């Protein structure tokens, strides 16, 4: 038991990151503040440990975040973790000398600010718009139904599809922002659909009941099985946004983190698309 307690500081940091990801469904606006605050506290309470042991408390998580970024050469979601973890560790060690409470409060405030504003802004700034216009035909064999089980045809010049399922918490958080954008771009040739994808053994009636409770201004439609849709459109995470222009996919991506990412990216791209297509909302 004593040995386990002695080793516990070395698992607290990665465990806090993993648990925050599970509890908040991968939402970094919560994961980042929790992880950074935990790093500060662990660094502070490891007073008597040598620096080599202190390194082992944080290096596993740092490498866990770094490795996928190097493999994919994509640092949009990791850069703030990689930079700020060493920073708050330094603050935690510094707090051992004096003024623990002020430094803790500063760390919490700083971490909350990064989660709310810094992370979305960094993700937006590092988003490469050049990938936006890689096009491919939308699969013609996929079937989408309205709540009356009538087949939906995507006949408008621009169609925006927001894919979600009822087990996806971030999906529900994005609905008000999606509604705001859909109301801004009202035009006969622009269509916005919320696309519900069923969970295993979920009935059609159970899905429509959720739509009625949400009561948003945009139209909800219903896709085929999750496996069929994901294989046809090549994605496996929700929410997922697809934009069509003349039945061709011109964007397929994942605006999961933060209100400003969802609004600014979608709004910015729709401005480009509608201007290029000669459509004025």
Asked whether the predicted pLDDT for residue 163 surpasses 80, the reply is: yes
* Model pLDDT, residue 39: 92
* Model pLDDT, residue 241: 86
* Model pLDDT, residue 257: 39
My answer on whether 166 and 112 are in the same domain is no
* Model pLDDT, residue 21: 86
CATH number of the CATH domain containing 239: 3.40.30.10
Q: State both tokens at 244.
A: 């069509």
Judged on CB neighbours under 10 Å (0-12, 13-18, 19+), 81 is buried
Judged on CB neighbours under 10 Å (0-12, 13-18, 19+), 32 is buried
Domain span at residue 254 reads 130-277
* Model pLDDT, residue 91: 94
Instruction: Between 185 and 255, name the one with better pLDDT.
Output: 185
My answer on whether 160 and 261 are in the same domain is yes
The mean-pLDDT minimum among 58-72, 102-116, 138-152 falls in 58-72
My answer on whether 106 and 134 are in the same domain is no
Q: How far apart are CA 281 and CA 275, in angstroms?
A: 10
My answer on whether 82 and 42 are in the same domain is yes
DSSP character for 133?
Answer: G
Domain count, the chain: 2
Among candidate residues 125, 153, 188, the one where a domain is terminated: 125
Report, as an integer, the average pLDDT of 81-92: 93
* Model pLDDT, residue 250: 85
Q: Determine the 3-state secondary structure of 190 from DSSP.
A: strand
Give CA separation, 73 vs 128, 130, 238, 248, in Å: 12, 16, 22, 28
My answer on whether 68 and 84 are in the same domain is yes
* Model pLDDT, residue 12: 87
Asked whether the predicted pLDDT for residue 191 surpasses 90, the reply is: yes
Q: How far apart are CA 178 and CA 127, in angstroms?
A: 19
Per-residue b or e along 175-212, where b marks 16 or more CB atoms closer than 10 Å to that residue's CB: bebbbebbeebeeeebbbbbbbbbeeebeeeebbeebe
Nearest alpha-carbon partner for 37 in 20, 50, 60: 20
Q: What is the mean pLDDT of the chain?
A: 82
Omega of the bond prior to 8 within 30 degrees of 0, cis? no
Give CA separation, 160 vs 40, 189, 248, in Å: 42, 11, 11
Asked whether the predicted pLDDT for residue 271 surpasses 90, the reply is: no
Among candidate residues 95, 110, 125, the one where a domain is terminated: 125
My answer on whether 165 and 41 are in the same domain is no
My answer on whether 121 and 149 are in the same domain is no
Q: State both tokens at 59.
A: 């290096």
Q: 121 pLDDT band (50/70/90 cuts)?
A: low
* Model pLDDT, residue 112: 92
Q: What percent of the chain has pLDDT over 70?
A: 84
* Model pLDDT, residue 180: 87
My answer on whether 98 and 173 are in the same domain is no
My answer on whether 167 and 264 are in the same domain is yes
Report, as an integer, the average pLDDT of 156-183: 86
Asked whether the predicted pLDDT for residue 7 surpasses 70, the reply is: no
Report, as an integer, the average pLDDT of 42-62: 78
My answer on whether 134 and 115 are in the same domain is no
CB-based contact 154:244 (threshold 8 Å): yes
Backbone dihedral region of 246: left (phi > 0), alpha (psi from -120 to 50 degrees) or beta? left
My answer on whether 149 and 221 are in the same domain is yes
Report, as an integer, the average pLDDT of 5-29: 78
Asked whether the predicted pLDDT for residue 5 surpasses 50, the reply is: no
Taking each helix axis from N to C end, the angle separating 28-45 and 79-95, rounded to the nearest 10 degrees, works out to 30
Among candidate residues 59, 94, 125, the one where a domain is terminated: 125
Asked whether the predicted pLDDT for residue 33 surpasses 80, the reply is: yes
* Model pLDDT, residue 120: 66
My answer on whether 271 and 172 are in the same domain is yes
């Amino acid at each position: 038991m004593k040995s386990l307690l002695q080793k516990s500081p070395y698992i607290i940091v990665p465990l806090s990151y993993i648990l925050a990801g599970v509890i908040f469904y991968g939402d970094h606006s919560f994961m980042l503040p929790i992880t950074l605050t935990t790093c500060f506290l662990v660094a502070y309470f490891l007073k008597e440990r040598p620096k080599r042991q202190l390194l082992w408390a944080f290096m596993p998580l740092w490498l866990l975040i770094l490795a996928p970024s190097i493999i994919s050469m994509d640092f949009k979601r990791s850069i703030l973790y990689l930079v700020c973890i060493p920073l708050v560790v330094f603050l935690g060690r510094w707090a051992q000398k004096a003024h623990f409470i002020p430094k803790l409060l500063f760390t919490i405030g700083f971490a909350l600010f990064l989660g709310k504003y810094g992370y979305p802004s960094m993700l937006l700034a590092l988003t490469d718009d050049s990938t936006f216009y890689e096009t491919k035909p939308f699969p013609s064999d996929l079937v989408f139904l309205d709540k009356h089980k009538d087949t939906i045809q995507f006949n408008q010049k621009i169609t925006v599809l927001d894919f979600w399922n009822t087990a996806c918490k971030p999906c529900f958080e994005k609905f008000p922002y999606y509604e705001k954008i859909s109301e801004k771009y009202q035009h006969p040739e622009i269509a916005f659909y919320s696309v519900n994808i069923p969970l295993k053994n979920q009935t059609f009636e159970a899905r429509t009941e959720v739509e009625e409770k949400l009561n948003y201004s945009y139209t909800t439609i219903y896709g085929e099985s999750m496996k069929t849709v994901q294989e046809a459109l090549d994605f496996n995470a929700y929410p997922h946004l697809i934009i069509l222009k003349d039945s061709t996919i011109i964007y397929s991506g994942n605006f999961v983190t933060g209100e400003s990412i969802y609004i600014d990216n979608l709004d910015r791209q729709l401005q480009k698309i509608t201007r290029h297509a000669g459509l004025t909302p």
